[in-house]
Structure 1
Amino acid sequence: MKAIVLENGRPILKEIPIPKLQEGDVLVKMKACGLCGTDIEKICGQYTASQPILGHEPAGVIHESTIDWLKPGDRVFAHHHVPCYECYYCKKGSPTMCPYYRKTNLDPGGFAEYFRVPAWNVKRGGVLKLPDNVSFDEGAFIEPLATVIRGQRRVHIDKEDYVLVVGAGPMGLLHVMMAKANGAGKVYTSDVSGFRREFAYKVGADYSFNPTKEKVEEEVRKLTDGRGVDVAIIASGAPQAILTALYSVRKGGRVLLFGVPYKGTVLNYDVSDLLNNEISVISSNAAVEEDTREALEVIASKRIDVTKLITNRYRLEEFEKAVREAKEGKTIKAIIYD
Structure 2
Amino acid sequence: MKAIVLENGNPLLKEVPIPKLQEGDVLVKMKACGLCGTDVEKICGQYTASQPILGHEPAGIIQESTVEWLKPGDRVFAHHHVPCYECYYCKKGSPTMCPYYRKTNLDPGGFAEYFRVPAWNVKRGGILKLPDNVTFDEGAFIEPLATVIRAQRRVFIDKDDFILVVGAGPMGLLHVMAAKVNGAGKVFVSDVSEFRREYSLKVGADVSFNAAKINIEEEVKKLTDGRGVDVAIVASGAPQAILSALNSVRKGGRVLLFGVPYKGTILNYDISNLLNNEISIISSNAAVEEDTREALNMIANKKIDVTKLITGKFKLEEFNEAVREAKEGKTIKAIIYD
Same fold (TM over 0.5): yes
| Corresponding position of 2:271 | 271
Q: 1:48: Cα distance to partner?
A: 2.2
Where does structure 1 differ by over 3 angstroms across 4 or more consecutive aligned residues? Answer: none
- The answer as to 2:218 corresponding to 1:205 is no
Partner deviation per Cα, 1:6-31 (whole Å, 9 max, x = no partner): 00110000000000000000000000
Residue in structure 1 matched with residue 252 of structure 2 by the alignment: 252
Instruction: Assess if the C-alpha contact under 8 Å between 1:165 and 1:175 holds in 2.
Output: yes
Matched, 1:79 2:103: no
Q: Distance in 1 between matches of 2:57 and 2:186?
A: 29
| Alignment of structure 1 residues 150-169 onto 2, 5 Å | 150-169=150-169
Q: 1:31 is matched with which residue?
A: 31
Aligned equivalents of 1:207, 1:10: Cα separation in 2? 39
Which residue of the partner structure matches residue 110 of structure 2? 110
Which secondary structure does the structure 2 equivalent of 1:329 belong to?
Answer: coil
* Structure 1 residue 97: Cα displacement: 0.2
Q: Once the 2 structures are TM-superposed, how far is the Cα of residue 305 of structure 1 from its aligned partner?
A: 0.2
Q: Deviations over 1:48-67 (max 9, x none)?
A: 21111000000000000000
Give the alignment's TM-score, normalised by structure 2.
1.00
User: Counterpart of 2:54?
Assistant: 54
Alpha-carbon displacement from aligned partner over 1:270-318 (angstroms, at most 9, x marks no partner) = 0110000000000000000000000000000000100000000000000
2:136 aligned residue: 136
Distance 1:12 1:100 in 2: 28
Q: What is the TM-score with the length of structure 1 in the denominator?
A: 1.00
Answering whether residue 222 of structure 2 is matched by residue 222 of structure 1, we say yes
Alpha-carbon distance between aligned partners in 1 of 2:79 and 2:213, rounded to the nearest angstrom: 40
1:335 matched to which residue of 2? 335
**1:212 Cα shift?**
1.2
- Structure 1 gap segments, 5+ residues each: none
1:13 corresponding residue in structure 2: 13
Cα distance in 2 for partners of 1:54, 1:320 equals 12
Using the TM superposition, give the Cα deviation of residue 239 of structure 1 relative to its aligned residue in structure 2, in angstroms.
Answer: 0.4
Secondary structure of residue in 2 paired with 1:185: coil
For structure 2, list consecutive stretches of 5 or more residues without a partner in the other structure. none
Contact 1:48 1:260 in 2 (8 A): no
List per-residue Cα deviations over 1:204-258 (Å, max 9, x = no partner).
1000011111100110000000000000000000000000000000000000000
- Seq. identity, %: 86
TM-aligned CA deviation for residue 181 of structure 1: 0.7
Q: In structure 1, what is the equivalent of residue 173 of structure 2?
A: 173
Q: Does 1:288 align with 2:310?
A: no
What is the root-mean-square deviation of aligned Cα atoms in Å? 0.3
In structure 2, give the amino acid aligned to 1:183. Answer: G
Report the residue type matching 2:38 in the other structure. T
In 1, the alpha carbon distance for the partners of 2:212 and 2:176 equals 21
Return the alpha-carbon distance in structure 1 between the equivalents of residues 249 and 94 of structure 2. Answer: 26
Whole-Å separation in 2 of the counterparts to 1:176 and 1:193: 16
- 1:117-142 Cα shifts (integer Å, max 9, x gaps): 00000000000000000000000000
